[in-house]
């Protein structure tokens, strides 16, 4: 006759539960920071796409295009000049980008000046048919410990984002 199977003691069960709890909390923190860095990168890519779109619209239409950054609402809106006013473009794409999901703080720096705008107001960046823009500069988007910088030069080179940390 075999002896009855040995059962786990209450202490062993509690230790297993404690180890599982600690492991799951560490994994949750890692996943949370991964989500934050992805949302910052996504906001930077959306902004970078709007810069490229403005340049393209200005060159192909032969007229001014404007990227309006609303730092209060955390949006970027593309518009083209029609006569004396700026209007939404007639193409099928959405006219603007919502940056709220990836932005906690934002800092704008304009090339050739020390001016920085932090979380307030409207900033207009004009794009000309010869592919230049004014003013040139960079915008840092941050959320938590993650940050990404989008740079737009005055020349016809495209904007670029420097990755989230």
Q: What is the pLDDT of residues 5-36, one digit of tens each?
A: 777 788 889 999 999 999 998 888 777 766 66
Query: 78 forms bridges with which residues in the sheet?
Result: 67
Q: Which ranges in the chain belong to alpha helices (H)?
A: 10-61
DSSP, collapsed to helix, strand or coil, labels residue 38 as helix
Q: What is the pLDDT of residues 76-109, one digit of tens each?
A: 888 888 888 888 877 655 556 666 665 666 677 7
Q: Do 139 and 116 meet the contact criterion of CB atoms below 8 Å apart?
A: no
pTM of the model: 0.65
Domain count, the chain: 1
Domain extent for 22: 10-162
Residue 102 lies in a domain: yes
Q: What is the pLDDT of residues 47-79, one digit of tens each?
A: 888 888 888 888 888 888 888 888 777 778 888
Residue 148 has pLDDT above 90, yes or no: no
Residue 135 lies in a domain: yes
Instruction: Write the CATH number for 82.
Output: 3.55.40.10
């Amino acid at each position: 006759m075999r002896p009855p199977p040995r059962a786990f003691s209450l202490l062993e069960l509690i230790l297993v539960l404690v180890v599982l709890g600690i492991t799951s909390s560490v994994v949750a923190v890692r996943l949370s920071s991964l989500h934050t860095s992805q949302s910052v990168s996504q906001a930077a890519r959306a902004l970078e796409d709007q810069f490229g779109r403005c340049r393209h619209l200005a060159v192909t239409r032969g007229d001014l295009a404007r990227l309006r950054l609303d730092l209060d609402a955390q949006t970027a809106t593309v518009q083209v000049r029609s006569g004396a006013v700026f209007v939404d473009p007639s193409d099928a794409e959405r006219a603007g980008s919502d940056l709220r999901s990836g932005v906690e703080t934002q800092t704008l720096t304009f090339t050739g000046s020390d001016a920085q705008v932090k979380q307030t107001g409207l900033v207009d960046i004009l794009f000309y048919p010869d592919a230049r823009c004014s003013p040139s500069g960079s915008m840092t988007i941050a959320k938590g410990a993650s940050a990404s910088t989008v740079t737009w030069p005055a020349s016809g080179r495209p904007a670029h984002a420097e990755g989230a940390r």
